[in-house]
Amino acid sequence: MRLDRFIASQREELSRSKVKELCRRGLVTVNGAVVKSSDFSVDEQSDEVCISGERIGYREHVYIMLNKPAGVVCATKDRLTETVLELIPPELRRRGLFPAGRLDKDTEGFVLITDDGELAHRMLSPRSHVPKTYFVRLETPVSEDTAARFSAGITIDGGELCLPAELTFTDVPNECLLVLHEGKFHQVKRMFAAVGNRVTYLKRVRIGALELDEKLPLGACLEIMHKDVDKLLTRQSPD
């Protein structure tokens, strides 16, 4: 891969023309030797590329766990409202990042931000049935009947049939965990509306088998390690 393409792909703030300029100024080294021409060919897996001595590590894709706060939208751009991409710290920013899936503006919790379109597609495709787990607080206590209707597959307004979903009770009567295997528009809220209840607080706490880090503050991000990326696609429901 060309040196300028390599660096530009890893750092959003460094365009290919900026890289050219850095090379001209003698600030770029490959395996310790100054390289002045930005079309120099590098092996992205094995060569050590540095700018002013700082190593530019290579990752084909980046996977970011964001703990989305309420009031922020899952979009790449919005004229009026802050987007999830604006919460990504500069060191994790790169071209092509997008939120893989949407949470409502008032929903909190785990949003995956990535530049890996293929993984996002596999994670979101209704056919892959990757479970998404939500913590739900309701206006009135959750009943056994609701759990049974969700588990059988409930029909929500407009006649849409939902796939079976698993509801787990907690110690608090009006709180529960709900695992969905698809992502219809406002699905959790509409499912509870269909049984005469109302969601007052919603947070996504797990995607596949990967849990939202409970120490991650609202609005903060962390990079998901490559060894954990496959967990985002794990189909079976967590226990």
Q: Write out the residues near ligand URA by the rule CB under 6 A.
A: 103-104, 107, 186-189, 202
Give the residue with the Cβ less far from ligand URA, 167 or 188: 188
Give the residue with the Cβ less far from ligand URA, 11 or 132: 132
Query: Is 104 a residue of the active site?
Result: yes
Give the residue with the Cβ less far from ligand URA, 19 or 103: 103
Pick from 168, 175, 192, 167: which is nearest to 141 by CA? Answer: 175
Min CB(76)–ligand URA separation in Å:
17
Catalytic site residue from 47, 78, 104, 228: 104
DSSP code at position 19: H
CB 162 within 8 A of CB 184: yes
Min CB(186)–ligand URA separation in Å:
4
Helix runs in the chain, H state only: 3-10, 16-24, 117-124, 144-152, 187-194, 226-229
Q: What is the Cα–Cα distance from 142 to 65, expressed in whole angstroms?
A: 30
Min CB(188)–ligand URA separation in Å:
3
The set of catalytic residues is 104
